[in-house]
Amino acid sequence: MYDQTRAQQPPDRTPGPDGRRTAGPEPLLPPEARDEIARRLGHAVNTFADTPREALEEAEGAFGEAAAQLANALSEMRQVLRAGWQGRDPETDSAELREALRQYRELTQRLLRT
């Protein structure tokens, strides 16, 4: 059945425990990984005046780590999504397939906005 309230919600917002949409999409990287990358980048910015070359190397390393972790997280998400729909009968599992499509759409839209 069509749920107009749900349909009007932004696609990158997932329902919270109370059924309402949360303030935004769940981050793609865990908090500790984000914090470490942000710490490294902040260190690079703060030390640039004294050691510009080393600061740039630190910033490049932080960027490389963020890109690698993001690629790994997206690959894992893709595997989980694919495992959820691959091999299902489209005639009997249309609700599950529709949910998988919604999740692909949301993830892709998040990437396009980044």
Average pLDDT over all residues of the chain? 83
The pLDDT tens digits for 27-72 are: 889 999 999 999 999 999 999 999 999 999 999 999 999 999 999 9
d(CA 6, CA 113): 21
φ and ψ at residue 21, rounded to 5 degrees: -75, 145
The pLDDT tens digits for 68-110 are: 999 999 999 999 999 888 887 777 678 888 888 999 999 999 8
Q: What is the pLDDT of residue 2?
A: 46
User: Which residues neighbour 9 within 8 Å (Cβ) at sequence distance 6 or greater?
Assistant: 21
Name the pTM for this structure: 0.67
Residue type for position 17:
P
d(CA 106, CA 112): 10
User: Average of pLDDT values for 15-27?
Assistant: 61
Q: Which residue has better confidence, 23 or 25? A: 25
Tokens 């490049």 locate to 60
